[in-house]
Structure 1
Amino acid sequence: MNVTDDKTIVKEYFNSTGFDRWRRIYGDGEVNKVQLDIRTGHQQTVETVLSWLKADNNLAGLSICDAGCGTGSLSIPLAEAGAKVYASDISEKMVGEAKEKASQILANAENPTFAVQDLETISGSYHTVICLDVLIHYPQHKADEMISHLCSSAQSRIILSFAPKTFALSLLKKIGSFFPGASKATRAYLHREADVVKILAKNGFSVQRQSMTRTRFYFSRLLEATRQ
């Protein structure tokens, strides 16, 4: 399966059965134990990012690109805090859900600005570019291209999360491949932290803060890097 096929599958998945599944996970409705665990892990990653940005005391007015915004779990609180947010996702249904949530929570209908886009077509220049839990859909050689592209839009800072490629997680992923099901409709790619750091450095960024979110079924390494 080539990279184009991967992207097509991801887009179709998140516009169909995947949308219903992940809308429940990112929401607050009833879910099964595995989905609840993933919801908890993802929210912990979002809360870590928010705590980093708020600790800098300059969030109001900051321009932020949320690449792969999903249903707006990060974009909406960023806009609430006063940031100027540009949010995009490959899934039209995800963007529609995010817009609906934003309209119910936020007074300013123009912030965040939402768009249906994949990572390749994101353009513009932003103080901070954030991409959470998206790189899992990209193999390593494509991740290099995508991270570099996101770096080109970041004036000062980029924040990424990815599933780290460790022996334990690689083994867990291998075991999981023997139990196919509807919840595994897309490929999941793990990435070595050293490789991600190397790509960031190649683009002029150095890691300043890092964190690891680990639950039973959710594993995400979070890196904040700034221009050197």
Structure 2
Amino acid sequence: MDGLTYQRRRGEIQTYFDRTAVEAWKRFATEAPLGRIRATVRDGRARMRALMLASLPEDLSGWRVLDAGCGTGAMSIELARRGASVLGIDLAPEIIRFAAETLPDDIGTGRIEFKAGDMLSRTHGEFDAVVAMDSLIHYQMDDAVLALASLARRTRHAIVFTFAPRTPMLAVMHATGRLFPRSDRAPSIVPVRPDAIARDIAQQPELNGWQARRTQRVSHGFYTSQMMEIARP
């Protein structure tokens, strides 16, 4: 996928997470004390991670899984503990270094490979499943669906991803962010309606044969995100 809007957005996200936000994300990955707002985000992300993992088999032995937008590696670690061979991809090299350096001792050698790069690159090979937690929420819906189609070409079973559901609060935050940009602000989240993204997935020719299955929202404090699973029958 080489659309200009995707490329431009990808560049903005890489700059933010590898320069502005890297220390904050390292704190999210530890038990370090956080302020009230960030604490609810950390807890909300943990709930979402558990929800996404529940969409996949408990035993992933023999599966190769892509953790697309892996951040500090929390999802990759849980996938590896289920027996999967995991490739964790993130745009931010500094966050990837942190993920590789902080792997827990119970993760076997070679079980997880972390790389800095584009999650859609064909060079990553094929997978049995893909998880993409909060890694598509900064893209316009058309670009997000095209990204899913790109991943689907190289995925055998399932893609579990999240999007920002359109709620009154998120709509206001999105509008405010666009009206009042600031150099250290995260790239704005793009809220979408669940029925709209499900419709666009169904109408995307390259996702023919894939079906939208389980979807569920996590709303906890300042964290709101919605999971959706698409899978081959």
TM-score by length of 1: 0.88
| 202, 205, 222: which one aligns with 2:210 | 205
Flag the 1:58–1:199 CA change in 2: closer, same or farther, 3 A.
farther
The alignment of Structure 1 onto Structure 2 pairs a total of residues equal to 225
- The correspondence of residues 126-205 of structure 1 with structure 2, limited to 5 A, is 126-175=127-176, 184-201=185-202, 202=204, 203=207, 204-205=209-210
Counterpart of 1:121 in structure 2 is 121
Q: CA deviation at 1:179?
A: 7.2
Indicate the residue corresponding to 1:48 in structure 2: 51
Distance 1:136 1:190 in 2: 8
Distance in 2 separating the partners of 1:182 and 1:46: 29
Distance 1:193 1:133 in 2: 15
Residue matched to 1:11: 14
Instruction: Please give the alpha-carbon distance, in whole angstroms, between the structure 2 residues aligned to 1:135 and 1:151.
Output: 15
Superposition RMSD in Å: 2.3
Query: Does the 8 Å CA contact 1:69/1:88 hold for their aligned counterparts?
Result: yes
1:21-36 matches, within 5 Å, as 21-36=24-39
> What is the distance in 2 between the residues matched to 1:198 and 1:112?
34
Structure 1: state its 5+ residue gaps: none
Letter aligned with residue 221 of structure 1: Q
Offset of 1:176 from its aligned partner?
6.1
Distance in structure 2 (CA, Å) of the matches to 1:13 and 1:97: 16
- Deviation sequence 1:109-135 (CA, Å, 0-9, x none): 211111111133154211111111011
Rounded to whole Å, the distance in 1 between the matches of 2:226 and 2:144 is 15
- Decide which structure has greater helix share: 1
Give yes or no for contact 1:129–1:153 (8 Å, CA) kept in 2. no
Equivalent-residue separation in structure 2 for 1:144 and 1:207 (angstroms): 12
Q: What are structure 2's unaligned runs of at least 5 residues? A: none
Quick check: 184-193 or 43-52, which moved more?
184-193
Q: Distance in 1 between matches of 2:85 and 2:14?
A: 26
The percentage of aligned residue pairs carrying the same residue is: 26
Match of 2:223 in 1: 218
The TM-score, its normalising length taken from structure 2, stands at 0.86
Contact map agreement 2:177 2:188 (CA 8 A) in 1: no
Alignment deviations for residues 163-194 of structure 1 (CA, whole Å, 9 cap, x no partner): 11234431343356677667623222122222
Q: Retained in 2: the 8 A contact 1:44–1:213?
A: yes
Q: Deviations over 1:120-168 (max 9, x none)?
A: 3154211111111011121122212211111112111110111112344
Cα pair 2:77 2:107 within 8 Å, conserved: no
Give the Cα separation in 2 of the matches to 1:37 and 1:65: 27
* One-letter amino acid of the counterpart of residue 25, structure 2: W
Q: Secondary structure at the match of 1:105?
A: coil
